[in-house]
Chains A and B, each alone.
Chain A
């Protein structure tokens, strides 16, 4: 199958407008004859479900939480970009488009990225109308800040809780539709399989987490808004329940997984404190504006940080990158932290496979001496407080310890310009798809993409598909594909419960994560990736022989079983990630291949051989997937190699 991106052609500025104008419409009376199943109720899912219901479609929204408000979009801190040019500093749709495509290291589609920049302004309008309490100037207009090294102020924010407030906005629109009957909200339901009828996605198989009951939810189209897969690393800044299951099981039905090796590893997180750690916490990147990153020059330094004299401190970012210093981009900062810790110079608790200390100092001593404690407190008071709360150490007195943590995944299910996967009827929005960020995501762009997809893209494009299909007979629970779906899930569940093993689900997940972070994380090599693939295969085999799940019943709430389903998928997905990383012999964005670097150790892109999207077709768990390529063509931007020396 060749991949049709279905991107419009012609002038970039009018592509989306012209495309919308050409989408076949569903008449207002007919809309209620179409039923759309939305999986996930984060920014993308809640906004998509609410907006489609506003248009008149019948919508079922599914979440495994008790409430849509729990989705992990809630945790995004920094802000949301929009090309409003409210600050009159020369921002424009084109500039946001250009920054995004360059930030993504030229590995995304021009058409998609331009559309994202184009609808960004409408998101702010919609959110403000919903009552999102954005930061304001004294005159009552919206405030902006700069974010992620761009040259204009285009980031809108609500204190450090922008994701929470935007999610609550989308959630309130969703609950309005629940109130009016436009959306049927299903809670505590885990989506464990897809119902595909005649090659088209028509529904999902759900497990009720309260009582283990399996059921099918069917409609005319399925929309997956199930977030990213950072939890393949076990320790990440994602919520504990974030998973790849719905997407992976769709992949097994033929949906292609695109660019799974594109992951973003955030440089400023609180380091791992020990082997019982369950979760990593992000600290705002703004800390690097004033903090200086260093490690002791001496391996095994035993003196407290404050007693290490300047001459024995290795300010490695400042030394290696004199121009940008501590402000180098995320991936450069992350990678260098890994390297110095690999060399045994890290500080803090010894953890991980090699039991090395994995942390570096982020020191505010000089900033406090220069600007005074009050000034630093005004800038970072809440972050210092958060750090103190978690670690019990005050950054005013001792340097912070930081280490990179997996944070966001740019890869995901392959979709065309209409956000439909290669499996007809299966749409994918938000972090779950691969489309707009390329190989790296700019700060404050995740919220933008989730809401752009849900409010302003999918509700139009899905109409084109539904209009083409026309109203169809409903798929009943007794349809053979529904029964087959339930049968498949039952088989997997029974198999998981029948294993009389010794190892907990978490221990497998932890082992997978450590390996993934070490070899498929900030820095990847051919040898390491190959080693990882066989490691995962062995670990997966052991999982299916030796996992221990209690209680041994799927007929009631069973948290260990829920986790087991997810980890089983991560154990397959992780292998694909490694394969994708192996197939991409260049370094780009968040993907760094040690074989492809400049003499100075910088990421070296290879546009001649790798200017494409890798889309993987599933051929069975133990068979090699088929590698499809969608060529990326750049008509409007000139590809440049970045340099931070």
Chain B
């Protein structure tokens, strides 16, 4: 395994692994959203879906996968960040301004990816406590646990709903930069496909944001 440890010692190797773990997490988010959107279907659809999920080995895979991917992604990035801070040296700039002519949003998204990611991490912790850890104690509704009821219950609190909406936007913001950056960190560059990946990353971020925000919003205005 020396090639692996040697690769991980380099910033580029770690960055590539962070990118892979990030893309895997994006995959999780897509599945997560598809599941969540069952809330809009017939009254029991979400509960039935949750039941099926928790009954299968998917949940184990998901739990274990996320338990590995999240700390890995965050850990690798923080390690890189420490290196980056060190690289600037002891004296920083009095003034530092960009010369980019890309859209301000893209530049901001790239420059705030660390702070955005840390906020996202905080949100995910709250989210796990809210729903994943609470799952086993949920009351039954018919044959299934009443996941839908619990969600509606929690997100009926406007402050809580707002938190989830902000969290959803944070996810989108992170992906807006993260998806294209991940492909590039893995060495993918192509004159035709790279712009499509950039747009695709933005599209995916918007879909995820709209999808996730729609749930608390719907609950609030229902």
A and B touch in the complex (CB under 8 A): no
